[in-house]
Homo-oligomer: A and B are copies of this chain.
């Protein structure tokens, strides 16, 4: 691809270099080779731009670079422009329309004309599978499930009865969508009596779910993951939760039941969210934190339990010297007792 074509498709401007330069691929600063375009977004890596072997680079609008041998494309957000370049050079593979003879598809399922259903996949009764859907081997779709167009279901995925998967969703390997929520009532003998879990999970369009994640169905009603939300590996989403649009939930985070995660929220790795609460829009909860209370829109919180991130940074700094502080306080007690005795 010519440099000027790449610039146009990534909404960048050529600041330096031959518009007809051939760009073959995109790669990070350290591994880029001649023919590649690279990028600088994090100032931490600025020293590497002097050594990169890339033929071109996306830079922000203000950063200077004294490398006449490299083409420079200016972009408002170099990381976004680089992502677009990566997508151009690495398009999703086309589906190969086919149904493997070993796949088991119930006779009542409605399968679009153009799908790719691979070996040993199982599709249950009354399912509806949309155009361009790809189902990898050994995936299991229970009965009465709908999967929207262009979605990809990887091997080992389980989609339980009655769930809905939107268009352009990706579900990675061995993830479970719609297993029973964890609900019991204690009976008179102190045994746990199972509460039926007859709701479903709805994934709206453009949702991506990582590998080995578990999203429980609602007891009654639904667990809903809204348009554009992204969920990483090994995440737990409890029954009846709602994840709002464009929320991002990192690996090993867990949500108990019935909580609502607002739009564009970022839950970093290993976060915990208790049940029946609301995390407001645009909140960030930093890694390994947990909350059992509602969180206002736009807050950044940390800790177990979590509170304002700046206060938390001060608290943890003091915590490192807490043993010493305890000794100091004991010493002050003694000194004051002495001073008081001196006065008597």
Contacts and interface: CB of A to CB of B under 8 A. Distances in A.
A160 B212 CA distance: 14
A29 to B, nearest CB: 11
Nearest to A195: B83
Contact of A102 (B104, B176, B325): B104
Kindly name the residue among A100, A158, A220 whose own CB sees the greatest number of chain B CB atoms within 10 A: A158
Interface residues of A, number: 115
A230 to B, nearest CB: 5
Given A77-B185, A342-B343, A287 B287 contact: no
8 contacts: A27-B221, A140-B173, A158-B173, A174-B214, A210-B214, A274-B287, A319-B319, A339-B343
Interface of A: 26-28, 31, 77, 79-80, 82-84, 86-87, 90, 100, 102, 104, 118-120, 122, 136-140, 142, 154-156, 158, 160, 170, 172-176, 179-180, 182, 184-188, 190-196, 198, 206, 208, 210-214, 216, 219-221, 228, 230, 232-234, 236, 238, 246, 248, 250-252, 254, 256, 264, 269-270, 272, 274, 287-288, 290, 292, 303-305, 307, 311, 314-326, 328-329, 332-333, 335-336, 339-340, 342-343
